[in-house]
Amino acid sequence: MKINYHKKRFKAVTNSEHGEVDPQTIFHYSQEGDVLWAVYQGSSIKLGTITGLVKNDGTLEFAYQHVNTEGDIRSGKCISTPEILEDGRIQLREAWQWNDGGEKGESVLEEIG
């Protein structure tokens, strides 16, 4: 599935217990070729960034890092699988893992206008 994520915005609709993003966290994606990056913030996230790759099958593989409202610097890695919703928006099913402590989780992001 070939998807261009450039200038797409997403928000979390679900997240695991150890996750820090929620529906008030907004992700602003950019893409050039197969390179993907994003900036995100909102709710408990002061500022976060994503850097990664868009794979040939449309999945995303990236590293993320952010500063939360507690003043912690957190980072991890994620594999994100896209699905096109009935209304044409992109949904991303994410499997992530923190670098500090190694807790794993799952989240779902949906494209917003």
Burial 11-29 (b: 16+ CB within 10 A, else e): bbeebeeebbbbeebbbeb
pLDDT band for position 113 (cuts 50, 70, 90): confident
Q: What is the pTM of this model?
A: 0.95
Dihedral of alpha carbons 28, 105, 76, 36, sign: negative
pLDDT single digits (tens) 58-82: 899 999 999 999 999 999 999 999 9
Alpha carbons 69 and 56: distance in angstroms, whole number: 36
